[in-house]
Amino acid sequence: LTMLGAHESEVSSFSYADLAGAIRQFGTEVRQDLHELFRRMLFNILVTNDDDHLRNHGFLFDGEGWRLSPLYDVVPKPQLGLERRLVLGVGPEGRAATIENALAGAAVFDLSHDDANAIAEDMSRIVATRWEHLFTKAGISAADRKRFATCFRLAAPVS
């Protein structure tokens, strides 16, 4: 909120592009953090984390400037419907939580379309192939894994 000069009541009017602007203005590792922010946006889409408001994006001072903080407060949310929205705007289609919308705005993150597409394919594969194993390893029951499976529908299975 502070980096963007935002007030709590206006958080839904902000986007990942606004966070990218803050990285450009205040960051020390701009390109690295822009790419990481793009990955986090994709991850939120792929795991249906619609709790991506500005308070869940942080920055840490590294002695010279600001860096993205480690990722935190990611909450996959089971959904019946296929249409998903994030709190922050994703791309030209606003808050629509789709890979296509994210890819359409890739230039904001200093990524070519090909590089952004490769990142999206890789992340989709990782989420699709690892989420259930990680949930099992964490002791989540089969019934709860089945309930959470809807969170990961946008992650394409690897053929």
Give pLDDT, residue 3. Answer: 75
Give pLDDT, residue 158. Answer: 42
Q: Is residue 158 part of a domain?
A: no
Give pLDDT, residue 1. Answer: 57
Q: What is the pLDDT of residues 78-129, one digit of tens each?
A: 988 778 999 999 999 999 999 999 999 999 999 999 999 999 999 999 999 9
Q: Is residue 36 part of a domain?
A: yes
Q: Is residue 159 part of a domain?
A: no
Which domain covers residue 103, as residue numbers? 8-152
Q: Is residue 88 part of a domain?
A: yes
The whole-number average pLDDT for the span 72-79 is 91
Q: Is residue 2 part of a domain?
A: no
Domain count, the chain: 1
The whole-number average pLDDT for the span 60-84 is 91
Burial class from Cβ neighbours inside 10 Å (0-12, 13-18, 19+) for residue 19 reads buried
pLDDT at 159 over 60: no
Q: What is the pLDDT of residues 131-147, one digit of tens each?
A: 999 999 999 999 999 99
pLDDT at 157 over 60: no
Give pLDDT, residue 7. Answer: 72
What DSSP string runs through the chain? -TTTT--GGGGGG-BHHHHHHHHHHHBSSHHHHHHHHHHHHHHHHHTT-----GGG--EEE-SSSEEEPPP--------SSS--B-SSB-BTTBTB--HHHHHHTGGGGT--HHHHHHHHHHHHHHHHHHHHHHHHHTT--HHHHHHHGGGGTTSPPP-
Q: Is residue 74 part of a domain?
A: yes
The whole-number average pLDDT for the span 51-66 is 93
Q: Is residue 1 part of a domain?
A: no
Q: Is residue 16 part of a domain?
A: yes
pLDDT tier, 150 (very low <50, low <70, confident <90, very high otherwise): very high
Share of the chain above pLDDT 90, in %: 81
- Specify whether the CB–CB gap between 124 and 117 falls below 8 A: no
- Specify whether the CB–CB gap between 107 and 95 falls below 8 A: no
